[in-house]
Amino acid sequence: MLVKKLAARDIGVSGVTKAMLGNSLFANTLISAGVKGLADSRVENLQAMRQAGVKAPMTLIRSPMISQAAQIVKSAHISLNTELDTIAELSEAASAQNCVHGVLLMVELGDLREGIMPADLEDMVRKTLRFQNIKLEGIGTNLACQNGVVPDARNMGELSALADAIDATFNAKLQIISGGNSANLTWALGDEAKGRINNLRLGEAILLGCEPLYRQPLDELFTDAFVLFAEVIECKIKPSHPTGAIAQTAFASTKTARNSGLIHQTTLALGQMDTDPTGLSPVRNIKILGSSSDHMVLDTLNEDFPIGSEAAFHLNYSALIHAMASPFVTKQYRSNNIATKRRAH
Ligand SMILES: *Cc1c(COP(=O)(O)O)cnc(C)c1O
């Protein structure tokens, strides 16, 4: 849906695979959905996709570590860059591997994460163009990640204007003008002119079906594609209020538990080692009381959860990426809705 809607605005999609750790099933699904290429923040994930035989243009979207320059040139066609020292190392590595590495220069447009200050862009372009084994593919920006800056007509217009200025100064034609991530969708699908922006790098919107500025569902996308199941390891009637003097918990915060008499306290084999517990929403009407490294404690609202049964949760982006990265969480991919298939609370 996103590929189709954005194509109508001449914007191509780079499918961002980092939350899925470069899983090839997901990557190939994106390719068959018509993305222009795949993008990941970790070279290890790009390598995994290549080893699994995934065929697509690949972009490294976190500024390269110089220590990984050789691997990056080998696995990524393009990387997003802001530092000349890094580009120099990529050029060296590309020369050693007898290839040309593509570079997209990232511009700082207010969110204050990665990016060259706009006033320094022309100089940076001039110096980038001097490297034999580097091809300047275009420019890009990233908003809404560090300070929640909203992509809008002003900052997107500035990126377009910078592309025009670079083309005029260097008698060039920058190919890729990458406007940002899922947070750009509201702007990109809106009515204003898109200027030179012809690429977005999309992860969260594809996976969770929402835009990340206000986390509103996007038309025609699924918001419940992921379910996390956790197994019940204890279920007992216990007081709702702790006994004894109270200090810090395993994760520093101390919350005052409300005294609501006796409750059905149910403990799951799930904790901070597995996910971000604050990003979980129970599918059923139960209450999360707290979590530590390996345990999550629930108030199951007067219901007995049998030992060995499972509770089901939907995940926000933070819970999702932590669960996907945890070696303790088993991943299963299904083409139908498992929440209804699997017997879980
Ligand atoms: C993670 C990331 C994206 C994708 O962001 P989503 O919000 O998941 O769409 C795009 N660009 C960069 C630089 C990223 O690090």
CATH number assigned to the domain comprising residue 292? 2.40.37
- Do 174 and 270 lie in a common domain? no
Indicate whether 219 belongs to any domain.
no
Look up the CATH number of the domain holding residue 183: 3.20.20.10
Q: How confident is the model at residue 341, as a pLDDT?
A: 52
- Do 11 and 141 lie in a common domain? yes
Q: How confident is the model at residue 166, as a pLDDT?
A: 98
- Do 26 and 123 lie in a common domain? yes
Which of residues 162, 181, 208 is at a domain's end? 208
Gap from CA of 89 to ligand 1 centroid (Å): 24
Q: How confident is the model at residue 342, as a pLDDT?
A: 58
Residue of the CA atom closest to atom 10 of ligand 1: 181
Residue 269 burial class via C-beta count within 10 angstroms: exposed 0-12, middle 13-18, buried 19 and up? middle
What angle, 0 to 180 degrees and rounded to 10, lies between the N-to-C axes of helices 121-128 and 153-170?
40
- Do 34 and 126 lie in a common domain? yes
- Do 129 and 235 lie in a common domain? no
Gap from CA of 326 to ligand 1 centroid (Å): 20
CA dist 60 and 89 (Å) reads: 15
Q: How confident is the model at residue 63, as a pLDDT?
A: 98
Residue of the CA atom closest to atom 3 of ligand 1: 181
Q: How confident is the model at residue 242, as a pLDDT?
A: 93
Q: How confident is the model at residue 251, as a pLDDT?
A: 83
- Do 282 and 187 lie in a common domain? no
Which of residues 158, 177, 208 is at a domain's end? 208
Are 192 and 153 in contact by the 8 Å Cβ rule? The answer is yes
- The token pair at 30 is 């994106």
Instruction: Please tell me whether residue 95 adopts helix, strand or coil conformation.
Output: helix
- Do 233 and 123 lie in a common domain? no
Strand pairing report for 296-299 and 262-268: antiparallel
- The token pair at 21 is 């750790």
* pLDDT in single tens digits along all 345 residues of the chain: 999 999 999 999 999 999 999 999 999 999 999 999 999 999 999 999 999 999 999 999 999 999 999 999 999 999 999 999 999 999 999 999 999 999 999 999 999 999 999 999 999 999 999 999 999 999 999 999 999 999 999 999 999 999 999 999 999 999 999 999 999 999 999 999 999 999 999 999 999 999 999 999 999 999 999 999 999 999 999 999 999 999 988 886 666 677 889 999 999 999 999 999 999 999 999 999 999 999 999 999 999 999 999 999 999 999 999 999 999 999 999 876 554 455 667
- The token pair at 12 is 């191509």
Query: How many domains is the chain partitioned into structurally?
Result: 2
- Do 67 and 100 lie in a common domain? yes
Q: What stretch of H or E contains 239?
A: strand 228-239
Residue 125 burial class via C-beta count within 10 angstroms: exposed 0-12, middle 13-18, buried 19 and up? buried
- Do 56 and 158 lie in a common domain? yes
Q: How confident is the model at residue 258, as a pLDDT?
A: 75
Q: Ligand 1: residues whose CB is within 6 Å?
A: 16, 18, 41, 61-62, 142, 181-183, 201-205, 212
Q: How confident is the model at residue 253, as a pLDDT?
A: 67
Residue of the CA atom closest to atom 14 of ligand 1: 61
Indicate whether 49 belongs to any domain.
yes
Residue tagged 């306290």 (tokens): 265
Distant-in-sequence, close-in-space partners of 135: CB < 8 Å, separation ≥ 6: 100, 101, 102, 103
- Do 154 and 248 lie in a common domain? no
CA dist 55 and 197 (Å) reads: 25
Q: How confident is the model at residue 55, as a pLDDT?
A: 98
Which of residues 160, 175, 208 is at a domain's end? 208
Identity of the amino acid at 247: A
Indicate whether 190 belongs to any domain.
yes
Gap from CA of 70 to ligand 1 centroid (Å): 23
- What are the b/e assignments for 143-160, b being 16+ CB within 10 Å? bbeeeebbbeeebbebbb
Q: How confident is the model at residue 259, as a pLDDT?
A: 85
- Do 167 and 27 lie in a common domain? yes
- Please give the positions annotated as active site: 18
Gap from CA of 102 to ligand 1 centroid (Å): 19
Indicate whether 260 belongs to any domain.
yes
- Do 237 and 324 lie in a common domain? yes
Domain that holds residue 311: 226-344
Residue of the CA atom closest to atom 12 of ligand 1: 61
Indicate whether 187 belongs to any domain.
yes
